[in-house]
Amino acid sequence: MSATVATGPALDVAVAARVGVLRRLARRPAAVAAAVAIALLLVLSLLATPIAGSPTAIDTREILAPPSSAHWLGTDDLGRDLLARTLAGGRLTLLVAFGAMAVSMLVGTIWGFVAAAAGRAVDEGLMRAADACLAIPPILLALILVAAFGSSTTTLALVSGLLLAPQAARIARSALMSELRSDYRLAARAVGAGPLRIVFGELLPNASPALIAQASLNVAWAIGIEASLSFLGLGVQPPDASWGTLLQDGYESLYRSIWLTVVPAVAIFVAILAFNTFGTQLQHALDPRQEER
Amino acid sequence: MRGYVLRRLGAGIVLLALASLLVFALLRVVPGDPTITKLGGARNIDPAALAQLRQELGLDRSVVSQYLSWVGGLVQGDLGQSYFSQYAVTTLIGQRVVPTLELAALAFVLGLALAVPAALVSATRPRSIAARAVNGATAALMAAPPFLVGIAFVIVLGVQARLLPTRGYVPFVDDPLENLRLIAMPALTLGLAVAAPLVVLLRASLEEALRAPFIRTATGKGLTHRRVVLTHALPNALIPSLTYLGVTVGYLLGGVVVVEYVFGWPGLGSLVVDAVLKRDYAVLQSVVLLAVAIFVLVTFVTDLLYGVLDPRLRVGEGRA
Amino acid sequence: MTPALTVDGLTIEVTGRHAPLQLVRDVSFQVAAGERLGLVGESGSGKSLTALALMRLLQAPVRIASGRIVLSDGTDLAALPERELVAIRGRRVAMVYQDPLSALNPVRRVGDQIAEAIRAHERISSSAARRRAAELLGEVGVPEPGRRADQYPHEFSGGMRQRVVIAMALSAAPELLVADEPTTALDVTTQARILELLLGLAQERGLAVILITHDLGVAARFCDRLQVMYGGRLVETGPVGDLYRTPLHPYSEGLLASVCRLDADHDAPMPALAGQPPSAGQLPSGCSFHPRCRYAFARCESERPQLAEVAEGRAAACHLAAERLALQADPALAPSGGDR
């Protein structure tokens, strides 16, 4: 009985803290705008074909056409609708980016959590390794990984995920470290919860806002990496199309039509900005010292 | 002081050795043969020719002996033979190093020249229109990968306004004016990419320096606000930013790869992309190691510089 | 003779999301040329803010809401635009700060920092300014001033650093020196030496000094006249000797009692200060001190006493001031005040 009394209020405090973060986030216009943009991007990419038609349908009368009522963003050099291709490309780009994010957060959280929970020597070693990885320019590391593992959509997600894992490990470590020091862990211990239950029942949920913020930043980074590598011809390979490959195609016919370049470039920029803004706004909402801004 | 220098140097060499091992291992861990590309694909290959080529390139030996001969060559300044072309890797790097150095140096200077005034405006007059413009531009540049900024320049200044050529390279000694016209956009692109994170960092350390009590002392002496900022806040804010110099150079080395590709700039960046496409591991591993070496060197120099510029550390080291 | 400084109705407020909050209220006083005035009170009493206001060094969101700060030539500092303050700061009014380590720029040589203060107000070559800086260092008792001028602040001890700050404050020969807790960050023996140095320099140069301190022992040794602040207001002022012998305001009495006095009468009850000083947002009604005052009565809760002169050069903001003066002036009547 006394154990329930001990956990009850402690858990309520933890839940209240999470709700408080959401409320603070909702008060930030930039965060709301970013969340709306992300939702819009996801819906548009998922419903690409129903909205804009087939990305591979060829309209031979309209080759490199400017925007019109039939083709809102014009057509490419084969007469394919650019809007349809951009939305479909977004689906692949976002798929790769979310895959990379999942890989990075999984690897990073385990990495960071082991460092936080294990002894000092392990912690030191793991964090030094993270620092060393962060020291190599990511694009060069990405090039080596792509050279080693080849170019495919799956390896692209894996490679970007591994690149982004060290930063996630740092965030996970510091979030879990501060959780490990807080009171409700003691309360959970008092109820007799096992270590796994503490990790999944208490620590992860309470560290989750910080991890979600990092996940959002990692999606932004992964979009950038995908676009960079595909633009260099080292990422997504034809016939698959992502924003990066669309940009590469468009850049080659830049002097015939700038639309083919501008549209995917804007899509990449907006997507990165949205995920970036959401992540940093969430971080600010989590940090009371930043609240005034 | 000497002990400190040696320790830093030792740490740098260890990092370099680890990086060489990592790069080499990554490129050998995967099955697949780089020589096949050179002989024109997987079909119809003469096994005898393949064996001969593998022997010439030393690919028939064990991985350990390949690594040791690469490192042995490195120490003597011999990076081996390109798998794909008939040139030595040192020759290939030699051809490409000048354009990249020119681009990176100019971008670095441009980045600093843009970042310092921008951070000053943003930190000292946070409510002004100029500060808001700086903050907005910084946020946008932090989000946009460098090649997007480059493409924007190409579209606006090259394709639409037709002010500048969009790609190509002419050595400075051959035609200085054309060289500058060609380097303008890539250098500005890379400079902006370097400037954005610097502005964020400098702004934060300027804000902190401006809150320091010695700023009040300086104002209390009767110095103008401008002098207080330039002679007291800025130097104190720049010293901690020095630690970031290594990261900036790393950023520069990464950015150079894609920006060179966008502008058809024949530097180390495009050499690397080419090497990846052709699976020319001999070139790839050496160029990447060169980048890591530059990074380690810059970090080392930064650490030394930090000790020289901050008098508190100078004495601390002297006593130690 | 015109006073070196006249402060009239100085009110300092902090602005924010809510209504502005007054931190210092309606403070008026004068400092005669060559006079050494002590401004004492607990932390939060508004004495340091008053000091910063005299140099116009308050930083947003804290600002001067109203009042005048008039120098001997009639210049009203409170009304000057920022760009004209440059000619006043350091040259007319200079300041010595509480923590000499953080008051000095850590990455610049002390000689350069002093020379900079000289050159801010005088057109002389940098080498001449540096020579003058070394002379000043010698004057404030820094040994080997020529060599020490080339060193950095962290190479000095706390006392030597404060000497550097004093040299910097004197560099443009100001007529008024504001010393904000100049000895608080120092150890006891160094405190005495710095105080002695300041006293010597003030007498030698005929400087008017405002010493801000919470330490009545320091104030007693240094000042001609004391002003006591409580809750953002002046509550008592008078010559040092009189105020120590017969504190008129119960708060002054409490402050004095909390100083360890070796010559104190150990049989007398010790009227120590109980409770905490009020915060600016929650000043009590009537007299701000009444919740902590052992003499408080009904009127103190409802009516705020004005700072009124009760004797030549002595004023106090207490309903009992006149009565207490009379009582204390006659030692036969009471050892430690009335028993209301």
Considering only the beta carbons, identify the residue of C57, C82, C152 that sits closest to B220.
C57
A140 in reach of chain B (CB within 8 A): yes
* Helix axis angle, B245-262 to B176-210, nearest 10°: 150
CA distance C99 to chain B (A): 9
For the CA atoms of B165, B170, B175, B181, the dihedral, rounded to the nearest 10 degrees, stands at 30
Among left, alpha and beta (phi > 0; psi -120 to 50; other), residue C141 is left
- Judge whether A262 and A242 are in contact, CB under 8 Å: no
CA distance B286 to B90: 9
Is there a contact between B155 and A255 if contact means CB atoms under 8 Å apart? no
Is there a contact between B216 and C103 if contact means CB atoms under 8 Å apart? yes
Q: Is the pLDDT of residue A192 over 70?
A: no
Binned at pLDDT 50, 70 and 90, residue A183 comes out as: low
Which residue type does B80 have? G
Span of A175-179, C37-41, C211-215, C287-291 with lowest mean pLDDT:
A175-179
φ, ψ (nearest 5 deg) of residue B265: -95, 120
Q: What percent of chain C has pLDDT over 90?
A: 28
Find the farthest-apart pair of alpha carbons in chain B and give their distance in angstroms, rounded: 85
Is there a contact between B212 and C172 if contact means CB atoms under 8 Å apart? no
Which pLDDT score is estimated for B31? 54
Q: What is the mean pLDDT of residues C14-27?
A: 85
The whole-chain average pLDDT of chain C stands at 85
Give chain C positions within 8 Å (CB) of B239: 107
A235 in reach of chain B (CB within 8 A): no
Q: Is the pLDDT of residue B36 over 50?
A: yes
φ, ψ (nearest 5 deg) of residue C213: -155, 155
Is there a contact between B222 and C97 if contact means CB atoms under 8 Å apart? no
Which pLDDT score is estimated for A31? 86
Based on C-alpha coordinates, what's the Rg of chain B? 24
Binned at pLDDT 50, 70 and 90, residue A191 comes out as: low
Provide the token pair at C260. 């360890």
Which pLDDT score is estimated for A8? 45
Q: Strand C93-96 and strand C176-180: pairing?
A: parallel
pTM for the full model?
Answer: 0.81
Is there a contact between B143 and A273 if contact means CB atoms under 8 Å apart? yes
A1-53 pLDDT per residue, tens: 333 334 444 445 555 566 677 777 788 888 888 889 999 888 888 887 777 67
Neighboring chains of B (3 or more beta-carbon pairs < 8 A): A, C
Give chain A positions within 8 Å (CB) of B279: 147
Which pLDDT score is estimated for A10? 47
B257-296 pLDDT per residue, tens: 889 999 999 999 889 888 888 888 888 888 888 888 888 8
Which pLDDT score is estimated for C131? 92
C96-131 pLDDT per residue, tens: 998 888 899 988 899 999 999 999 988 899 999 999
Q: What is the mean pLDDT of residues A76-91?
A: 80
Considering only the beta carbons, identify the residue of A146, A261, A265 that sits closest to B276.
A146
* Mutation target among B217, B224, B226, B232 for the C interface, most CBs of C within 10 A: B217
Nearest Cα residue in chain C from B221: C90
C99 in reach of chain B (CB within 8 A): yes
Segments in A152-241 forming alpha helices (H): 153-181, 183-191, 195-197, 204-231
A268 in reach of chain B (CB within 8 A): yes
Considering only the beta carbons, identify the residue of C95, C102, C172 that sits closest to B212.
C102
ipTM of the complex: 0.84
CA distance A136 to B292: 7
